[in-house]
Amino acid sequence: LFARQVHSQPFQPGASFGIAFDIDGVILRGDTPIGGSPEALKRLYDDSGTLKIPYVFLTNGGGVPESKRANELSKLLNVHILPSQVIQGHSPFKQLVKRFENELVIAVGKGEPAVVMSEYGFKNVLSIDEYASYFEHIDPLRQYKNWTKQQASYKKKSSREMTGRDDPCSQRVKAVFIVSDSVDWSRDIQVLCDIMSTGGLPGTEISRQPPLYFANDDLSYQGLFPTERLGMGAFRIALESIYNRIYPNALEYISYGKPNPFVFKHAENILMQLVGSSISNQINGQYPLKTLYMIGDNPLVDIDGARQAGHHWFSILTRSGVFKGKENHPWYPADLVVDTVEEAVDYILRKEA
Ligand code: G3P
Ligand code: MG
């Protein structure tokens, strides 16, 4: 009754449905909008540009702060997107800030991984690029890597005056966060093996490796190239295989991102906050958002994640990315399969009308 009452007043407290959009392979390929995504999103706003249907982006990607990503997406997709509508693979790292607030932590990946972590509140964070630049000869292949102008040069001596912090060469690394896809696998695997086995103090031994967190465990994702590209999960396998061949203790790590059910729960909370619903409704066993739609292209990640998140999640698989099958996926079937995100949104709006 509650849901029906408010149904005629979309985006009022208690609006009855919300949508979570995957990005890569659904909304974009690289930076190119696909599947009629700008048109699909436009339908979620009224004529004055006010949001009328609660939605979030639920991506395993990342590398820039949510506020920056929201701006980039707004420009690409021609709608006004709030930072709170952007949930990235690394967004849950925020919850670990209390544990590592003042400790030296290393941030790995494309984009601005250290900026991401600093914005979350980590006070002593270095990107792996900067960290590696303090250690001469750490990457014997560096001189051959003329493929980037931005390759950080070796910093002969660091000092508090220069960096505003203690010399990273004599500080123990307390945790490593793989924020986004590694740019230089060979250097990053080498440096991560060093940190995991020595705590970042070359030549020393440690009893327990520092905690290692991955923003997602995607084997592959859909970029602009027709065939899927290797993702963070592939990098994790490479690092883990090498580490486990060299060192006696198996590499320990935690992977965040979809398909973990807590990620979908977080999306649900954000969607409820967007409609101004109180979380206490959920605690009382009532779901103010009766149906939550997940639109994704990866059966193992988006569709299985939505299935695990509960019966109130309805999964829609698009054929615009990782999944290219004619019928439904045999092992991780979606509630609906469509070609594009535009078709998915049309279906939802028809069903909820
Ligand atoms: O690197 C991004 C990729 O692993 C997944 O992105 O938006 O499809 O969850 P998305
Ligand atoms: Mg995807």
pLDDT digits (tens, 9 = 90+) for 199-242: 999 888 888 999 999 999 999 999 999 999 999 999 999 999 99
Q: What is the pLDDT of residues 88-110, one digit of tens each?
A: 999 999 999 999 999 999 999 99
> What confidence category does residue 334 fall into, taking pLDDT thresholds of 50, 70 and 90?
very high
Whether residue 141 is found in the same domain as residue 249: yes
Say what the ipTM of the complex is. 0.98
The whole-model pTM stands at 0.90
Of 196, 228, 255, the position where a domain reaches its end is 255
Whether residue 264 is found in the same domain as residue 337: yes
pLDDT reported for residue 13 = 46
- The CATH number for 298's domain is 3.40.50.1000
Q: What is the pLDDT of residues 295-331, one digit of tens each?
A: 999 999 999 999 999 999 999 999 999 999 999 999 9
Whether residue 218 is found in the same domain as residue 245: yes
Of 255, 280, 295, the position where a domain reaches its end is 255
Whether residue 96 is found in the same domain as residue 107: yes
Indicate the number of domains in the chain: 2
Of 255, 284, 304, the position where a domain reaches its end is 255
Residue (of 250, 221, 248, 253) closest to 234 by Cα position: 221
Atom of ligand 1 nearest to the CA of 296: 8
Probe target for ligand 1 pocket from 21, 27, 59, 302, with the most ligand atoms within 8 Å of CB: 59
Whether residue 160 is found in the same domain as residue 203: yes
Whether residue 157 is found in the same domain as residue 236: yes
Domain span including residue 31: 2-89+259-352
* 267-299: burial string, b at 16+ Cβ within 10 Å, e else: bbebbbebbebeeebbeeeebbbbbbbbbbbbb
pLDDT at 290 over 60: yes
HEC string for 138-196: CCCCHHHCCCCCCCCCCCCCCCHHHHCCCCHHHCCCCEEEECCCCCCHHHHHHHHHHHH
pLDDT reported for residue 205 = 85
pLDDT at 166 over 90: no
Q: Ligand 2 centre from 314 Cα, in Å? A: 16
Whether residue 126 is found in the same domain as residue 115: yes
